[in-house]
Structure 1
């Protein structure tokens, strides 16, 4: 019977991880690929799992027919997973958000919460009842929760690896979901197999109900198999895409390793979307902006020959640059290489002339990676990313990137980029964003010239004074000498853009606003962009959110001091040690574990830009460490006092790991840009995820043994400890993803984790070896 239960728990872990990764990817598409949403989504997943574990799981645990109840919940989980995918696809329509718009943070939170609610509640309940079922056939009740945790973790590791390398690359989301349902039904049938009934206690056998249940499962097995192989899954996929892009003719839809790519055809125009945000239009782009973005910088340079375009070059920018006769070579590195392939599948005269020109050299690689490896020198570098809306884009707005670009520019070279702006809408948030961009550029380049616009401000940065000396007369001379024909760049518009008063206007525009520098490991620019977007669409929330950039250790340390004071007041007022120390320590470990996971995910995105394809593997590495840590500590713990010492050692190890984490990534950043180094760093990311999981996961079985005083309270203890872990993870996801990492950066965030764990270490150390007789047993309800 143990083997059947283990298989069921493995399938539970496998299904949970695959569901988590797929729903995370689908929600990220809806949320425009903003990585802050990862923290929100994972946080909601954890808190809802905790709710399922502590509520529905306990209710189900009280039934006499636990195997049957487990089976029903597993089937409902599979159905809820499929429904969640469908509702995620149509979520923007339900929220009233138009195609091409971002979803604000508050709708991100509550919509993902509601989408995940049934899936996570049901999956969380499976853990609690799984612990009870395993304990029914085990001689050691106190270790059952730890063993179920280990088996579930093994399933999550399999889910991460298999989904990354076998499922996601070859199947669409509904096919995978149907496969998950099929596996769960098979596991449930195996769990209820007749031979298993002979091993069960007579009080738990209900022949009629079990026969009905097995018959229903057999029917579901046939229906699910047909859905997977016969086409209904494909039909549901197509229907959900049509509803997602209501009133739009979608001619292409796929998930690449970087993002979701959708192509809409309208009035003989192709609109290309990345994660629901418009990337380019062909064959007629936004001519006015493209001409200004390209021609002004090229005319500011006396003799532009070598040009580099990082992202967004197809569909107009390359075409305008090629009009300059001195241009000899254009290196074009597209952020998502699949985008070029899809552009070629939907050709237009504009894109064909751009991509097939002999002067254009296509680089199918991430732009920042290309810039770090190339030895070329460029007269102009154009950044096609127009706003630091997420970590993927923010990588092109940091001081480290600007320093790298400066090394690749020629003596008179110019770096060109855009940022959201307006001549009439001048909120504090958009001023902070542009002030951040300006000061970050100014910290690297001697001269930064801004051309304000109604929707975008254009920044020209260089160490040459030539960029500041461009005036109308010089520009018109070069325009005529190069025989360039422009549709929108008329003399009066040029004069307006080059008027000296604009530089004073921009200085006044950002005066008194942030002077923060945007760094790779402190992406404050992304925070300002999110604040701007929230203020634009939800003014009251946005204004409040913008104040969060003032939060730091000056707020966090007093909160932790208050927690310690409360702990000591209880300790000395009652003469007993507070049993809340163990749940708080696990809560703190859950907080640390989530922060460590987000740090790994965020740093991977900053380094490579395609965490969309690796998120399952990174989560699997963390869970593998958690499982091995739990298994190892379960086996070596010989008694309560020994377990308490090990728990304290792990507390100290997590603190040390948090302090060392920034140093590890800083050292990795210092490695040379060789192929061997790139492979090593990828392995390092997996290793860091594994070690962080091992440290955090090792505390789970120890906490169960330390807290459990009455074997009859097994499910309550398992639920409390597991729930504390998930609750800490929820807080870590919300604070870490939305506030700590963007505002306090990698170092400040890791110091925060160290301080939180130091608090729990002090609490645990003060109860260690305490008065045993005061350790009241868990009430047997």
Structure 2
């Protein structure tokens, strides 16, 4: 292989490494900035893929106008390395410029912000892959586009592995940006002609980009500071970003941008602890799933024999105790494990299980408000034990979406407990037990000799028998239950996101549907096949991400691994497809059928008990799906003609399909239909592709 070709292929690999590391870092970044959930992940991936597909289309236009060369490729590569730190500076710095600090942001604002900040980088990433192929073909007209595709996949896999197994554990985001982009910068410089590499102008540009990359490392902490509070602690754990801010002597702990603990939470601490524990004759063994400041001190007033405190992230629990946001008490056991996983494995029985989690705005949180969780919690309670959890409170009027959520939860938990009491305090607290529940909580506390300043002062004025009776009477008995695989609470939370900002997804869905229809009308059958394969692979990736979230709960740690596995299958798949490309007309229908069968198997296995399956099943499914999709690309490209135009159109169809599959699966199919029906819709899409390929009469 000529030396010049090797240099270009090394650039393709380095671009793949840099882009995947950047993508995974961006997901965590936007989750922290927008207190995000899976819908935000979907928007990021949608924008990334759509912009990448647009960049690929632009490369096709550029390739028609002038002969590509290594000098131009080198300049673009250096520009990409320089854009990466600028991308993160803009993402962090512009958020408070466009939106009020500390406020939540709506769907359209989130989409527009992520789209605009990511656009320069993603367009260039999408441009570089086909442009690299055009440069190679300028010297070797018959150069294999499949080989470039495989080389890019190799870089993607290496980038995913580097992030998942090293960077996420060892360095901060902007340190990771430096590590991932230094090779890209060096290789871009090496692409310059020998006589211009050491020119002052060239060295000045390279040095400027290097300074940009280094400045990210130096200014990392400053990019996270707030004008309203002092940043006293910053840490990137495996599970996300941990920050502690100090304002007027008060400490507030943030996890992925969301405030979760403050030194002034006394009222919430008293409600959360005393509402359930006052119902018990004796509170000896207590399980806390998450906590707020002051909660452990309130638990200690009952002199329990054992208190198990569950916190998934070890770094998070360490910070909680370091800043006295939580105080250690006698007989406390700190357990760094997922709450559902602990309950499924422990043999301990508890007098009280207190779930102190926010409303289910993510699938990870939703797992603690489903039928299966309530059954699991019931199995770990003593005969007279009590389960407690809460939702957002209300004043005198309860909005319809909130009433629907409370009704769904009531109907879900009522299948497992004989008595359920809703107390409308600062939060609406659910008390669930097989023993009779009482509302005279201040009297019970006085009888036990327990002092609770907030409850004794405000309970009888705020939580009257009339309010309790009214709330329990207006619940909608016909509402369905909340299931792991059919997260009905998530559907309402998504609708509330729009209602909060008086917007509707209708405009977005309508415009997107029109754009997709116009795009599809211009595709050949083989391009449509690649479009559907892109949609399938990303749809399946979203299915696996959401299934992980549902059954295991720690998606922020595993998302890099999942994405890496879905990328890893493309490389051997493309190699196999390249070997079979002469038989593409016969083999393509077989691969479409294989994807349909894989999805059918996925549905059947999940129905038999997805929560009992090992993690390796989901990873193997992802690898196999990507292998089959990777196999299709060379065969479809061969049928398209494999010239520069065909290669750019194929890359573009694959990326645009992936963008659509990401958004539709995560925002529409799973929240509104559930995992199984979402899988059936993907099967329907691939069946249409199979039908078109089978009925094709082109030679």
Give me the TM-score of the superposition, normalised by structure 1. 0.84
Contact in 1 for aligned 2:189/2:206 (Cα 8 Å):
no
Q: Which position in structure 2 is the counterpart of 1:459?
A: 430
Partners of 1:751 and 1:341 lie apart in 2 by 44
Q: Does 1:36 align with 2:36?
A: no
CA distance in 2, matches of 1:179, 1:81: 12
Which residue among 569, 578, 581 is the counterpart of 1:625? 569
For the structure 1 residues 579 and 226, does the alpha-carbon distance in structure 2 shift closer, same or farther, using more than 3 Å as the test?
closer
Any gaps of 5 or more consecutive residues in structure 2?
Answer: none
Quick one: distance in 1 between partners of 2:579 and 2:622?
Answer: 23
CA offsets, 1:536-589, max 9 Å, x none?
Answer: 2x12338x69x99xx9xxxxxxx9xx99xx99xx9xxxxxxx962222221111
The equivalent residue for 1:205 is: none
Classify 1:212/1:669 alpha carbon distance in 2 versus 1 (closer, same or farther; 3 Å). Answer: closer
Of the structure 1 ranges 740-749 and 612-621, higher mean CA displacement relative to structure 2 is found in: 612-621
2:364 maps to which of 392, 400, 403: 392
Q: Does 1:293 align with 2:272?
A: yes
Query: Is residue 690 from structure 1 mapped to residue 623 from structure 2 by the alignment?
Result: yes
Question: Structure 2: how far apart are the matches of 1:369 and 1:670?
Answer: 10
Paired residue secondary structure (1:488): helix
Cα distance change on mapping 1:24 and 1:214 into 2, 3 Å: farther
Cα 1:421/1:21, change in 2 over 3 Å: same
Aligned equivalents of 1:362, 1:344: Cα separation in 2:
11
**Alpha carbons of 1:652 and 1:66: their partners in 2 closer, same or farther (altered >3 Å)?**
same
SS of equivalent residue, structure 1 residue 459:
strand
Q: CA deviation at 1:56?
A: 4.2
Alignment of 1:336-347 (within 5 A): 336-347=313-324
Aligned in 2, Cα 1:731/1:628: closer, same or farther, shift over 3 Å? same
Please say which of residues 162-171 and 413-422 is displaced more in the overlay: 162-171
Are 2:584 and 1:643 equivalent residues in the alignment? yes
Whole-angstrom distance in 2 between the partners of 1:149 and 1:246: 46
- In 1, distance between residues paired with 2:333 and 2:453? 26
Instruction: State yes or no: 1:657 paired with 2:598.
Output: yes
Deviations 1:608-630 (A, max 9, x none): 32222222221111111012111
1:200 corresponding residue in structure 2: none
Q: How does 1:142-541 map to 2 (within 5 A)?
A: 144-192=144-192, 194=194, 211=196, 216-225=201-210, 232-242=215-225, 245-282=226-263, 285-313=264-292, 315-325=293-303, 327-347=304-324, 351=326, 354-355=327-328, 357-453=329-425, 455-464=426-435, 466-467=436-437, 470-472=438-440, 475-490=441-456, 493-494=459-460, 497=463, 499=465, 502-508=468-474, 510-511=475-476, 515-536=479-500, 538-541=501-504
* Aligned: 1:131 with 2:133: yes
In the alignment, the residues of structure 1 paired with residue 413 and residue 200 of structure 2 have an alpha-carbon distance, to the nearest angstrom, of 68
1:389 match: secondary structure: coil
Give the structure 2 partner of residue 759 of structure 1: 688
Q: Is the 8 A contact 2:52 2:125 kept in 1?
A: yes
Q: Mapping of 1:69-148 within 5 angstroms?
A: 69-99=72-102, 101-138=103-140, 140-141=142-143, 144-148=144-148
How large is the RMSD of aligned CA atoms in angstroms?
2.7
> 1:201: which partner in 2?
none
Shift in Å, 1:236: 2.3
Q: TM-score normalised to the size of structure 2?
A: 0.93
CA deviations 1:448-482 (Å, max 9, x no partner) are 211123x5211111233x12xx142xx45532231
Instruction: Find the counterpart in structure 2 of residue 6 from structure 1.
Output: 9
In 2: Cα distance, 1:69 partner to 1:192 partner: 8
The residue that corresponds to 1:705 in the other structure is 638
Go from structure 1 to structure 2 and tell me whether the alpha carbon gap of 1:234 and 1:3 turns closer, same or farther (over 3 Å shift). closer
Q: Tell me, what secondary structure is at the counterpart of 1:698?
A: helix
Name the SS for the 1:302 alignment partner: coil
Q: 1:669 to 1:771 in 2, by over 3 A?
A: closer
Aligned length: 692
Return the index of the structure with the highest Cα Rg. Answer: 1
Deviation at 1:500, TM superposition (A): 5.4
